[in-house]
Amino acid sequence: MGSESVCKFCQIASQALPSYIVFEDSVSLAFLDNRPLFPGHVLLIPRQHFETLTDFPPDLSGGFFRNVQLLAQAVEQGMGAEGTFVAINNKVSQSVPHLHVHIVPRRKKDGLRGFFWPRNAYKDEEQMKEAQAAIRKAIR
């Protein structure tokens, strides 16, 4: 039994589980989050099962991220919001292990402050340079 058969989002994509779908095409499906930060909080998923962003094939990313843009605009306009918060959790805080993008309507003074976690400053410029070098090395 593959992970797709037990994945809640795969079940939504196959319509085995009910959801409030707001958009769908051959690449992706968007539906209302059942535990929203605010009404209009949408989740966009690829129809195929990919656990994380790093598992997602580059040839699908163009169409998928065009849909992120489309939904960010639609959520803002449709919900009469001043903007949106768009986020992807990758493993940590990923409640369902299926790639998904959160698109959340935002308004000034809505109660969300920056990110949902505490920020940790670099101890010095040297630590910043070490992080920069490590990420550049990983890209190569």
Residue 133 clears pLDDT 90, i.e. is over it: no
Mean pLDDT of the 109-137 span: 77
49 is catalytic: no
Q: Give CA 50 to chain center in angstroms.
A: 13
Q: Using one digit for the tens of pLDDT, what is the confidence trace for 32-48?
A: 998 898 999 999 999 99
The pTM assigned to this predicted structure is: 0.85
Average pLDDT, the chain: 89
Mean pLDDT of the 66-89 span: 94
| pLDDT at site 1 | 42
Residue 119 clears pLDDT 80, i.e. is over it: no
The answer to whether residues 19 and 48 touch, using CB atoms and an 8 Å cutoff, is: no
Tell me how far apart the alpha carbons of residues 33 and 35 are, in angstroms, rounded to a whole number: 5
N-to-C CA span, the chain: 36
Q: Using one digit for the tens of pLDDT, what is the confidence trace for 15-29?
A: 999 999 999 999 999
| pLDDT at site 122 | 78
Residues 41, 98, 100, 102: which is the catalytic one? 100
| pLDDT at site 131 | 73
Look at 3-7, 27-31, 55-59 and tell me which has the smallest mean pLDDT: 3-7
Domains, the chain, ranges and CATH?
3-139 (3.30.428.10)
